[in-house]
Amino acid sequence: MQNSKSDSYAKAGVDITAGYESVELIKPHIKSTHRQGVLGGFGGFGALFEPSLSGMKRPIAVSGTDGVGTKLKLAFIMDKHDTIGIDCVAMCANDIVCSGAEPLFFLDYISMAKNKPQRTERIVAGVAEGCRQAGCALIGGETAEHPDMMPEDEYDIAGFSVGFVDYDDIIDGKSIKAGDIIIGLESAGLHSNGFSLVRKVFAEDLGRLDTYVPELGRTLGEELLTPTKIYVKSLLSVIKEFGKDIKGISNISGGGYNENVPRMLPDGIGARIEVPKIPTKPIFSMLAKKGAIPKDDMYNTFNMGVGLVMAVSEDKADAVMAALRKCGETPHPIGSCIDSDKGVDLLW
């Protein structure tokens, strides 16, 4: 039986019992992500993790935080909430591994106007799946019920992750030189960027997201909600094998190629990307045609079929790509590094 305080809080729009139910539902998902280093149970005031750093001479923590953005709007429309958590983990973990760090743990924050325990479970199930794909532990989080802050059927999600890398093994792009090869790893689709533009272009189609689209091979909704690919395990594998030959890594997220590729380049080095070598997926062609979006804008906004790029020594490029294929990735040599001002030259 609820006490008067709980009754009063419920009248204000916050259901404490729904919160208790959500916690019980999500516990198995959280436990499924646990790895060495997790201490204590779930539900404490602070999440405990003991990193195993004995093999590192100078351990450096690398952290990342991000959300999913307006891709959430499509989850609301479709009432499908089991993949959006994968996107949240991916947005953090893919950034962390760009420095050569292994993401160790993750925390999420879900804000909603009304806590619906079964929906909350689906969201956290997605977060847990993302953590399993990234090899990191979901060690805590917060589900906050905020009446009147947003419509009752909506929520927002953000995440935070921490990884470690030995100082001498940090991948920072400083050793990149002209002649190094740029390898692109295929994306799963749109990932989690540019969705304000996507929703504008497909505004008249949002009421029929369950319609099968032949050129996509699935429904539009399935395509748009395809979760962001998590590259962590593949990258850690090739980094372990090739070491310093992996000179720079860039996550192609918001801002496309012109904003993200230079983030891995040192001063005096530019990138020359051969656009025909990028494995553009049908969804991008549909967007460009339907929205009459110029080519430059497409490549400045979306990943266009490559979710992550890396700069490697020219003599090791073939071996690195072979190793990536063994990890299940589809790599493409899409360009090279050149003596130039830091920036990207897209060759059409």
Residue 5 is predicted with a pLDDT of 54
Distances (CA, A) of 215 to 189, 192, 218, 223, 305: 14, 21, 8, 11, 15
Nearest-angstrom CA–CA distance, 238 and 255: 26
Label residue 9 by pLDDT band (50, 70, 90). Answer: low
Tens of pLDDT along 124-171? Answer: 999 999 999 999 999 999 999 999 899 999 999 999 999 999 999 999
Please tell me whether residue 68 adopts helix, strand or coil conformation: coil
CATH of domain 4-169: 3.30.1330.10
CATH class of the region 181-347: alpha beta
Residue 121 is predicted with a pLDDT of 97
Which residues belong to CATH 3.30.1330.10 in the chain? 4-169
Label residue 43 by pLDDT band (50, 70, 90). Answer: confident
What are the start-end ranges of the E strands in the chain? 38-39, 48-49, 59-67, 102-112, 137-145, 155-166, 181-186, 212-213, 218-219, 246-251, 269-274, 306-312, 331-339, 344-347
Place of tokens 């860039």: 250
What's CA 292's distance to the chain center, in Å?
27
Give me the chain's average pLDDT, please.
Answer: 94
DSSP 329: -
Which residues belong to CATH 3.90.650.10 in the chain? 181-347
Q: In what order do the strands lie in the sheet with 155-166?
A: 59-67, 155-166, 102-112, 137-145
Q: With 80 as the cut, is the pLDDT of residue 73 above it?
A: yes
Give the mean pLDDT of 36-61. Answer: 90
Amino acid type, 77: I
> pTM here?
0.94
Burial of 177 (0-12, 13-18, 19+ CB in 10 A): middle
Label residue 255 by pLDDT band (50, 70, 90). Answer: very high
Give the mean pLDDT of 266-282. Answer: 97
Label residue 1 by pLDDT band (50, 70, 90). Answer: very low
Cβ within 8 Å of residue 143, ≥6 positions away: 19, 22, 110, 112, 115, 120
Tens of pLDDT along 175-213? Answer: 999 999 999 999 999 999 999 999 999 999 998 999 999
CA atoms within 13 A on the CB side of 127: 35
Tens of pLDDT along 91-109? Answer: 999 999 999 999 999 999 9
Regarding predicted confidence, which is higher, 8 or 340? 340
Q: Where is average pLDDT lowest: 50-54, 183-187, 332-336?
A: 50-54
Nearest-angstrom CA–CA distance, 320 and 324: 6
Antiparallel, parallel or unpaired: β 38-39 and 306-312: unpaired
